[in-house]
Amino acid sequence: MSHADLTMQGEPAGLLAGPPFAIPTKKLAMWLFIIADTMTFAACLIAYGFLRNGTANWPRPFHSITNVALMTLILLTSSLTMLLGVRAAKIGDKAGAFRWTMITAAAGILFALLHIREWLGLIGEGMTLLKNPWGTGLFGTAFFSITGLHLTHVTCGVIALIVVGLRYQGGRYNADDIEVLSLYWHFVDIVWMFVVPFVYLLNLAH
Amino acid sequence: MTTAEVKKAGIGKDLIVYLCLLAFAGLQFVIAYQNIDAWQMFARMLAVALVEAGLAVMFFMHLWTEKRGFVLFVLIFTGFVLLTMQYGWTDSFRLLRCGTNCS
């Protein structure tokens, strides 16, 4: 193969090729991250399912669905406000995009506070990572691991929303950056759609 | 999603998807109070969660508007890995039957 075959007008041919699947590189990177993170959460949930299925005295400590229903409503609504932020950014409404992004971050903070309140309630009832008053100690390990991992994602998402929102307002980031971040936020919402039924609703005290 | 697509689409579809997601989330809470065995409950909740996730991925994350090749890549790759993770369930049932006494 000659050098001429490898280059085109002085540029290596590989550098002229567009990004894979003809989508922006940042967006592709976020999608790949989301796919990898899906595997992480799936592994956690499957391990949880394995333990729950294989353990006879699995606890059912949840008496009320009010808190988890409220958390679900907040997270789902935050996905809608995130969409509105992306929409505003795409049509050049900078103030609107910043406002909706900050509203989304505020919803994330509210979700995290409700989550922490719930954790404190369970800890107050005697639940720790290794033991609880209702049954196998594995429950605390599984519950705190899965919900903690999700809460970490929400916290990181809130920080990212604030940072990206401020930088977008300052002109350093553009609408594409808001859109890429929105993918992450929707993913956090989707994970919650699986955490709620399997970790909370299947463990309701009837 | 391009600016032209955003202007053309309007907010109506997003609102409908949001309301559908709320309804499906509500359905999961209804299923939780049904008088059925745990496996049936699990199956119904999983089905609803998959529908919810599908709606969110396709419409909120706009995967539907990406190139067909990318959509196939995401769905096939993710689906394959998720399916291969299911290999351990038989051992879970063995544990349930025998506890720690069987080999």
For A73-105, b/e burial (b = at least 16 CB within 10 A) is ebbbbbbbbbbbbbbbbbeebeeebbbbbbbbb
Residue B46 at interface with chain A, using a CB cutoff of 8 Å: yes
For A33-66, b/e burial (b = at least 16 CB within 10 A) is ebeebbeebbebbbebbbbbbbbeebbebbeebe
Cα dihedral value A179, A173, A76, A156, nearest 10 = 120
Write down the CATH number for the domain with range A25-203: 1.20.120.80
Query: What are A93-132's pLDDT values in tens digits?
Result: 999 999 999 999 999 999 999 999 999 999 999 999 999 9
* pLDDT above 70: residue A2: no
Measure CA of the first residue to CA of the last residue in chain B; give whole Å. 55
Distance from C-alpha of B33 to C-alpha of A25, rounded to nearest angstrom: 45
AA identity, residue A178: I
Residues 174-193 of A with CB under 8 A from B: 175, 179, 182-183, 186-187, 189-190, 193
Query: How many CB atoms are closer than 10 A to CB A191?
Result: 24
**Closest chain A residue by Cα to residue B14:** A80
Query: What are A129-186's pLDDT values in tens digits?
Result: 999 998 888 999 999 999 999 999 999 999 999 999 999 999 999 999 999 999 999 9
* Contact between chains at A194 and B74 (C-beta distance less than 8 A): no
- In angstroms, the separation between the Cα of residue A47 and the nearest Cα of chain B is 9
ipTM for the predicted complex: 0.86
* Contact between chains at B74 and A186 (C-beta distance less than 8 A): no
Poorest-pLDDT segment among A75-89, A168-182, B4-18, B20-34 = B4-18
* Contact between chains at B95 and A55 (C-beta distance less than 8 A): yes
Q: Which residue has the higher pLDDT, B81 or A206?
A: B81
Query: How many CB atoms are closer than 10 A to CB A187?
Result: 26
Task: Give the helix, strand, coil percentages of chain A, each rounded to 5.
Answer: 75, 5, 20
CA A188 and chain centroid, separation? 2
By Cβ distance, the residue of B41, B81, B92 closest to A54 is: B92
SS3 state of residue B102: coil
Domain ranges of chain A: 25-203
Distance from C-alpha of A153 to C-alpha of A191, rounded to nearest angstrom: 10
Distance from C-alpha of A156 to C-alpha of A153, rounded to nearest angstrom: 5
Contacts of B31 in chain A (CB under 8 A): 197, 201
* pLDDT above 70: residue B6: no
